[in-house]
Structure 1
């Protein structure tokens, strides 16, 4: 039985562990999970769980190597500190542990930074890039805002190094009554004046990408590739109202995915996020890992996490055929963690 370890992941790793475990080929695995919070729900899907130390750099690599040796880990699927771990893949290979990570360090570093990645793709005919500026001072922000609005764009911004929606805001000068807004839903919208005032409190701040607001449909394309980055399948998932998603066939988006795969050669599972503006799909970002909504995409009949694991073990993976035209959603699910009482203690009640 092969042993798989996932370090600090999102809660959706709970689904990925179960998708790999309940694979259609009956392959057997034992799962190990670590997280600083021993009650993190992702660990409840694992056979063995441990508390992960909050250390960085070489100390974290030493922890990882020791963990793999102690437990005889065959495959390590990292999320936390991916760049650091990728730079040390040879050290894991020396102890017999494969690592499911993009080990092209330049490519991985670019994907983790939106500015670097946009620059690496500009002018190559791979995918359209939104109009953007990167700023580090309040005055640079003011200039970028003027240039983008004069070009006819609505404007939004996000840190160049951030996962998911962290730090994303939309600039809206028509928010309305601030007092009334306090009684409404929390939104991602803010005003130019408020943003400028906040940024002005620092002489310099971490890189902030100011960009055109993409107004139309948003797609998250879950992709599966072999170890060399050869694309095996791509499944576009369109975000609709609320929690509703559509798994759609789109030759335009599939062709876009093929161009990205051919140019970037990202292995295993990765995710391409695009949003349309005036009929053109423009790149938001590429996540070099399993996406947060991948478990929804797997309703297509393609078990992406398991097939990525097969590829990581060097096994042949034939291009799967996803089912499209699926409308899907999700619900909260109660997951029992360890009982706080022993069976003996319960007998006293």
Structure 2
């Protein structure tokens, strides 16, 4: 049986787990996994059979690099993360060389999802989820007005850039902090309104910030799998359960939200919905049109999310998948000898920048 060549461009470290989940698939389909990263010693590359350095490029130049890589290595499936929107915009370039790209091709939707302000407006129109009270601001004066409005409604206030990943730029406004204690204590996401306003007022304008109510309940990541047409096949709600514990549990209202999101937006393959409770109501934080950073944990439910997305892209028939019951999970560190293309990494990364198959 011919091996399926699968390519990951620059991903998070957890792509190491995605690669192994695909490699150890339940159908016994042989795969060869290729990966690139600007850091040849990045952890994600340790899951690849063939690793190479990638250049620091943007726009069409980066897309052309990926196309050339896929062509020269006869890639069947490309699973992008970095510059996903540019890759989706030029997906036809990959079609032309016979490479299937696991990406949402609805460019309008993809642009909205990647800008939280625009996506919240879209959700308002559909009414399929509850969203937090919020304002989008780009000046200190707008920031002050937004803060005062939300505080007057009784909300604790937080803010985050509209275009970012993970927790980058996230801050919670707390005016009762002791600056001296903060200086000598742990780094926290808390900041006073006065300090935030002082920083923001140092410039005429800044990239859009979403100023919103802080939600105090459990936060859930709903890992979802859909086929190429966007038909939902699986949804696993996952939350932190203290320390390193993670709990995958059946929450009917969250599973219903996943079904409504799939029906409204038809996002293909893997995507993730982040919700957080407030007053018993789940409210939207964001949607990621890709595999989430914790997806390998959700796979302990018995659903191999990364492989099933690949199987769908290859034309395989998929049936809806459910997990039998709640699953409590955790993780421990695993020491690894760093290797690139089967050899131990003992020299500087610069000397390996041309490493390939």
Say whether the fold is shared (TM-score over 0.5).
Answer: yes
The separation in 2 between residues aligned to 1:62 and 1:124, in whole angstroms, is 36
Contact 1:225/1:308, CA 8 A, preserved across alignment: yes
Residue correspondence of structure 1 range 106-255 to structure 2 within 5 A: 106-175=108-177, 177-255=178-256
C-alpha distance in structure 2 between counterparts of 1:201 and 1:210, whole Å: 18
Higher RCO (C-alpha under 8 Å, 6+ residues apart): 2
CA distance in 2, matches of 1:198, 1:268: 41
- Does residue 76 in structure 1 map to residue 78 in structure 2? yes
Mapped to 2, the partners of 1:210 and 1:269 lie a distance apart of 28
User: After the TM superposition, which segments of 4 or more aligned residues of structure 1 sit over 6 Å from their partners?
Assistant: none
The CA deviation at 1:328 is 1.1
Shift of 1:240: 2.2
Corresponding residue number in structure 2 for 1:97: 99
Residue 313 of structure 1 pairs with residue 314 of structure 2: yes
Tell whether the 8 Å contact from 2:100 to 2:313 is kept in structure 1 after alignment: yes
Structure 1 gap segments, 5+ residues each: 343-349
Match of 1:2 among 1, 4, 15: 4
2:60 paired residue among 58, 61, 75: 58
> C-alpha displacement at 1:203, in angstroms?
0.5
Once residues 238 and 59 of structure 1 are traced to their aligned partners in structure 2, the CA distance between those partners, rounded to angstroms, is 39
Equivalent residue of 1:336, what SS? coil
Alignment equivalent of 1:26, drawn from 11, 24, 28: 28
Q: Secondary structure at the match of 2:126?
A: coil
Count of residues paired in the alignment? 341
1:288 aligns with 2:273: no
TM-score by length of 2: 0.94
Q: Determine the C-alpha separation between the residues in 1 that align with 2:302 and 2:326.
A: 12
Q: Alignment partner of 2:224: what SS?
A: strand
Which consecutive unaligned segments of at least 5 residues does structure 2 have?
A: 348-357
Q: 1:31 to 1:291 in 2, by over 3 A?
A: same
Provide TM-score, normalisation by structure 1.
0.96
RMSD of equivalent CA atoms: 1.1
Quick one: distance in 1 between partners of 2:14 and 2:261? 25
More moved, 177-186 vs 63-72: 177-186
The answer to whether the 8 A contact 2:104-2:289 is kept is yes
SS of the residue aligned with 2:109?
A: helix
CA distance in 2, matches of 1:330, 1:29: 26
The secondary structure found in structure 2 opposite 1:73 is coil
How far off its partner does 1:287 sit?
0.3
SS in 2 for 1:122: helix
Q: How far did residue 335 of structure 1 move? A: 2.1
2:150·2:157 contact (CA, 8 Å) conserved in 1?
yes
Shift of 1:242: 2.1
Aligned 8 A contact 1:41 1:335 in 2: no
Counterpart Cα distance in 2 of 1:111 and 1:341: 41
In the aligned structure 1, how far is the partner of 2:248 from the partner of 2:25? Answer: 21
Deviation at 1:3, TM superposition (A): 0.2
